[in-house]
Amino acid sequence: MSVGAVDAMLANEASPRAWTREEVRALFNLPFPELMFQAQTVHRRHFDPCEVQVSTLLSIKTGGCPEDCAYCPQSAHHETEVAAGKLMALDEVLAAARAAKEGGASRFCMGAAWRSPKDRDLDHVCEMIAGVKALGLESCVTLGMVTAPQAKRLKDAGLDYYNHNLDTSPEFYGEIVTTRCYQDRLDTLDHVRDAGINVCCGGITGMGEAREDRIGLIATLASLPVHPESVPINFLVQVAGTPLAGTERLDPFEFVRTIAAARITMPRSMVRLSAGREEMSDEMQALCFLAGANSIFAGDKLLTTANPGVAHDRGLFQRLGLVAMPA
């Protein structure tokens, strides 16, 4: 597909729709300046290009996960330095939420290393959600697979967003995870959407996948019945003891292309520059914002891996003329 054909395709875009792999492939294959121009043009139609939504992510239950995700240091299948812990107490979680709000976050995300939550654990999580909401923050959780009744309980507790990533393309998925199938993830997304909860769903790059797998990931996300309201794009953080430690590092420009493709295909979604920012230069992050990323995780830790500190992010925002999106 030529640059002119892509331009015509985007010019005729009236509302969010499903994207074919051929169309997404055409975006990835554009010359880099053209892709950036198209992504920024789409971004400006729907968002203030100088505003970035800030979220904070807390691990409320760490380690001991029975899943074998090849990237994850919390898997019980891998020998890492992450020890299994119990579910955090409510007062500890709310103290962290208050600190996040004081640091400029508008959304507080809570992650638990479960395959799927037990109903007794969901009681405690629902208390956390209600407490976070009472502080005036948006709430988000990632708890693994959930059933339709569990999704309804989370909605009744006031949950705003549920995160459940697809990770990669359907074809490459089996190279990364074997303890659950791709359809399991899609079923959870259906339960969350049917309950009336906003969907947060993205993937991970740099796991040894080919460009065609990144194309497949974006095409799958952009072909869901409704585009995810939030799309986190992660840059693999390699952790010693996981099977993906030592994987060849993804070309930064390829990562930026993935951000741009997510922005163009899901024009009204928040595209989050997620894990891996600690390993990105300021210049690389700036290109990601230019490509349409308009959300980040703030705080010095994302679950168990390092993240740029709040002071560094504030400095970067000042240098780029960016501001935190109001709640």
Residues that are catalytic: 65, 69, 72, 109, 140, 200, 272
Give dist(CA 258, CA 299) in Å, integer: 24
List of residues 6+ apart from 6 with CB closer than 8 A:
26, 27, 30, 34, 38
- Residue 192's identity, in one-letter code, is V
**Nearest to residue 193, comparing CAs of 144, 155, 157, 222?**
155
The answer to whether the CB of 191 falls within 8 A of the CB of 146 is yes
Q: Give the β-pairing of 305-306 and 301-302.
A: antiparallel
List of residues 6+ apart from 190 with CB closer than 8 A:
none
Instruction: Please say whether the dihedral angle defined by the alpha carbons of residues 302, 140, 71 and 303, taken in this order, is positive or negative.
Output: positive
Tokens, residue 194: 């049917």
